[in-house]
Amino acid sequence: MKIRLLVIGKTTPEYLFKGVEDYVARIKHYIGFDLETLPDVKRSQGMSPERLCELEADSFLKRIKSNEFVVLLDERGSACDSIKMAQTVEKWMNTGVVNPVFVIGGAYGFGSELRKRSNAVWSLSALTFSHQMVRLIFIEQLYRSFTIIKGEPYHHK
């Protein structure tokens, strides 16, 4: 299994970028992992947030293969805690889920076609975070999942 994380737009704050780099390197000790950054969609004057979401969705859909398991990370998704996330990832590893792809959208969320294509929608918190902060939070939680699976002392119950 190889995990991919698709994001739109660069991670610009240096502190977030460094944190993302650190946890990506840690994850790679456990599993194949790719972070793919898609270019920002140019927002023309008067473009609605809904149209922007659809254009971003088109960009994401071009990068997703038909056999991949797609999980959108969205504040309106199903609540997921660290233990549940680890159990789900371990289940996927044991049942042969083909290359899960996690997607973090832009500031306005996801377009309808991408929502239709998704297999699951997870929420990392009831709180709202910037889409750039969610990158670091998610990657740290993915790392935490592997330490839980391996019984390593990173996570404290």
- CB atoms < 10 A from the CB of 101, how many? 23
Q: Which residue do the tokens 């390197």 mark?
A: 25
Q: Write the CB contacts of 119 (distance below 8 Å, at least 6 apart in sequence).
A: 69, 70, 71
List per-block mean pLDDT (blocks of 10 residues) for the chain, which spans 157 residues: 94 92 97 96 90 95 96 93 96 91 94 96 92 94 97 90
Predicted confidence at residue 107, as pLDDT, reads 87
Predicted confidence at residue 44, as pLDDT, reads 85
Domain segments of the chain as ranges: 2-149
Q: Which residue do the tokens 């929420």 mark?
A: 123
DSSP H helices in the chain: 14-27, 49-63, 82-95, 112-117, 131-149
Q: Is this prediction's pTM over 0.85?
A: yes
Q: What is the CATH number of domain 2-149?
A: 3.40.1280.10
